[in-house]
Amino acid sequence: MIRSNLTTTNRLFLAPLSAALLTTALVSTAPSTAQAQERDSFSVCWSIYAGWMPWAYADVEGIVDKWADEYDITIDVIQVNDYVESINQFTSGNVDGCAMTNMDALTIPAASGVDSTALIVNDYSNGNDGIVLKGSNELADIEGRQVNLVQFSVSHYFLARALESVGLTERDIETVNTSDADIVGVFASDMTEAVAAWNPQLGAIEEMPDANVVYTSAEIPGEILDLMVVNTQTLTNYPALGHALVGAWYEVMGLIEADDERALSIMADAAGTDIEGYRDQLAATHLYTDPAEAIALMESPELLENMERVAEFSFKHGLLGEMAPSADIIGIETPSGIFGNETNVQLRFDADFTQAYLDAR
């Protein structure tokens, strides 16, 4: 069984953060005297998603422990059932790292003043996110409907990009905030007209009566990135954490690349499916199994351009804070440069740990 040391509350993030919540987040992440002392114990969390199931395997099979032992540290790997709650735990400083998307890294921890580093680019969604309608197989028929989704998450960005493709805007639909943990059950309701979801929930919805997938993230390859994000100050103070996580991740990537049936079966079971179902999910996931490819992405100017697009969307929806004057209020740093305020860099893409792993092979 997968460890779960956190109790989720299905609390959904409703951006922008209030001033009180922002203050709380900033205070809770400030290092105390005890925290400032030497540490050898860390924690990271993840939630159910096809591209993050390797963390489940790396945990239960002792791969994270093996790499942590190599650096004389311990790393607790925690499953959180609600995706946004997992990010809230990171933002509040309750864990040192969290699996999240590029947009959510910007709009939740970075926008809350938590300097965050994308340590690993796990994958991009290449069909793992989808829009499902009832009663129609045409995306244009979403006009006038209510759409259930994790509001203001990357699903919201994905929905907006889909609407653009058929000449619609968000004014033409109504969004309904729904936890990822609840969305499969919600689709079964006669009241539900449309949903935006990701795998494995998307796969379960596809099997339900009158479910028509009308748009997927395969239409916008490379835009929805899935990351392991770590607190920047923690990573700076304790680089062993970064090296251990990267090593554990790419050890599992080697098993996936080799199509290791035992490893895939364990991941499939953790995702609530069988090995063929999980292989189908992986087919819609561009996993960066080759560390050199992940480095090339992080160093590419296309990544910075993509993050600028994400920042513009986030600003338009008020996700960068009530007082944010423009999309470039938060600095986003990649190896190819900085978008936004260079004196307020709060989100970084760091290829150095992946490069160190590659050099050591």
Model pLDDT for residues 327-347, shown as the tens digit of each residue: 999 999 999 999 999 999 999
Alpha helix stretches (DSSP H) within 129-284: 154-165, 183-187, 201-206, 232-237, 239-257, 261-270, 275-283
Structure confidence at residue 322 (pLDDT): 83
Which residues in the chain come in under a pLDDT of 70? 1-37
Angle at 305 between CA 301 and CA 306, to 5 degrees: 115
Between helices 53-60 and 63-70, what is the axis angle to 10°?
Answer: 70
The DSSP bridge partners found for residue 215 are: 131
pTM, two decimal places: 0.84
- Mention every residue, 6+ apart, whose C-beta is less than 8 A from residue 216: 127, 128, 129, 130, 131, 284
Closest alpha carbon to 142 in 126, 165, 120: 165
Please report, as a single letter, which amino acid is at residue 309: R
What pLDDT does residue 326 have?
97
Q: C-alpha 57: how far from its chain's center? A: 18
Question: For residue 140, which phi and psi values (nearest 5 degrees)?
Answer: -60, -25
Q: How many other CB atoms are found less than 10 A from the CB of residue 145?
A: 17
Say how far apart CA 48 and CA 29 lie, in whole Å. 25
Alpha-carbon distance of 114 to 232, in angstroms, equals 8
| Angle, helix 301-316 to helix 291-299, in steps of 10 degrees | 60
Query: Which pLDDT score, from 0 to 100, does residue 73 have?
Result: 98
Q: How many helices (H) and strands (E) does the chain have?
A: 16, 14
> Token digits for 239?
């680089």
200-251 pLDDT per residue, tens: 899 999 999 999 999 999 999 999 999 999 999 999 999 999 999 999 999 9
Contact (Cβ atoms closer than 8 angstroms) between residue 115 and residue 229: no
